[in-house]
Structure 1
Amino acid sequence: MKCYGGNRLLKHWIGNTDGYRVYRYLKVLRYYEYWLNTSSQCCNPITKILHAIMTNYYKLKLSRKAGKYNINICRPNSVGYGFRATHINGGVIINCESMENYCVVNSGVVVGVKTGVERAPIIGNHVELATGCKVIGDVVIGDNAIVAPNSVVVKDVEQGTIVSGVPAKFLKTTRKV
């Protein structure tokens, strides 16, 4: 058993949770997005150089965190606020055109494009992607939808529905709150 003292013990306990790893990854992602988005607004050559350095620094840091934590969000500015990845042990790959606010993703989720298709999936607000589900191709998932575990979504999902299966089919509508 390793012997830790004071703050190191607390840091070891907190730093090894999935939630804290996702928090650290998203923090670096948001810094990268900030420097990437503000670099075009610079007019001073010194600040342009600073922005280029910081953008590349956070891009490198993001790729290192992606490899370390098995989480990969391929397109910056595609994930909205309130994003939650509850478990990341199986890896999470997100390559979507946009994922709106307050989406929940579990381990083993893959969101991406199909060969020969130009557009990536578009995911609405409050969508839950359960463990091991795949969203492939030019797909639109509506708000408040739930994709069941190990489902493969290749067609559009209506707002407020639950889908399951390979390929995913409509099961029922969710309760309105």
Structure 2
Amino acid sequence: MQPIAKLLTWINFFLFGVEIASNCEIGSHFYMPHVSGTVIGAISIGHHVVIYHQVTIGAKEIMFEYEGRPTVGNHVFIASGAKVIGDITIGDGCVIAANSVVNRSTPVNSLLAGVPAKVLPLKKMPNARLFN
């Protein structure tokens, strides 16, 4: 089954411009509204995750093992151009701003912005939800 998964990964890359590692476990309701230039080399991605274009999620160093790769929690939003690299965990409910570079694990319900990304206050909006 692994060779078929790798073949489909490469076909997806050439047809749609997105690369998703064949070993990455992805939860339900995963959404990528614009896929161009996106690379996903995470260990796992939770459910209700939104990832925009030009996002890179992967290892800090060139390697072919899955150690040293990120884990993305549930209900996470990753904006365009963000980079999530290294052996880190993105907590549930996090929002990663456009063009941010996240290289440290993050607490739940955090807003991350900057290069390198810093944790900023995430204001709760009453009666509004980013995800279902």
- Cα RMSD (Å): 2.1
- Structure 2 vs 1, CA of residues 143 and 88 (structure 1 numbering), >3 Å: closer, same or farther? same
Q: Of the candidates 95, 99, 102, which is equivalent to residue 45 of structure 2?
A: 99
TM-score, with structure 2 as normaliser: 0.83
Q: Whose strand fraction is larger, Structure 1's or Structure 2's?
A: 2
Q: Are residue 60 (structure 1) and residue 7 (structure 2) matched? A: yes
Greater alpha carbon shift after TM alignment, 131-140 vs 62-71:
62-71
Provide the rounded CA distance (Å) in 2 between the counterparts of 1:140 and 1:73.
18
Give the share of equivalent positions with the same residue, in percent: 33
Q: Of the candidates 9, 13, 23, which is equivalent to residue 76 of structure 1?
A: 23
Provide the rounded CA distance (Å) in 2 between the counterparts of 1:159 and 1:109.
20
Tell me which amino acid in the other structure corresponds to 1:125. Answer: N
Query: Shift in Å at residue 56 of structure 1?
Result: 4.4
Query: Shift in Å at residue 65 of structure 1?
Result: 2.1
Counterpart of 1:93 in 2: which secondary structure? strand
Counterpart of 1:135 in 2: which secondary structure? strand
Counterpart of 1:173 in 2: which secondary structure? coil
Provide the rounded CA distance (Å) in 2 between the counterparts of 1:99 and 1:87.
17
Counterpart of 2:10 in 1: which secondary structure? helix
Match of 1:109 in 2: 55
- Structure 2 vs 1, CA of residues 97 and 174 (structure 1 numbering), >3 Å: closer, same or farther? farther
Greater alpha carbon shift after TM alignment, 115-124 vs 102-111:
115-124
Q: Is the 8 A contact 1:161 1:174 kept in 2?
A: no
Question: Of the two structures, which has the highest relative contact order with CA contacts closer than 8 Å and spacing of 6 or more?
Answer: 2
Matched positions, count: 123
Q: Whose helix fraction is larger, Structure 1's or Structure 2's?
A: 1
Structure 1: give runs of 5+ residues left out of the alignment: 1-35, 37-54
Q: Hey, which bits of structure 1, 4+ residues long, moved more than 2 A?
A: 55-62, 116-119
Greater alpha carbon shift after TM alignment, 114-123 vs 74-83:
114-123
Query: Shift in Å at residue 80 of structure 1?
Result: 1.2
Provide the rounded CA distance (Å) in 2 between the counterparts of 1:133 and 1:99.
15
Written as runs of structure 1 = structure 2, the 5 A alignment for 1:119-130 is 119-130=68-79
- Structure 2 vs 1, CA of residues 58 and 74 (structure 1 numbering), >3 Å: closer, same or farther? closer
Tell me which amino acid in the other structure corresponds to 1:141. Answer: I
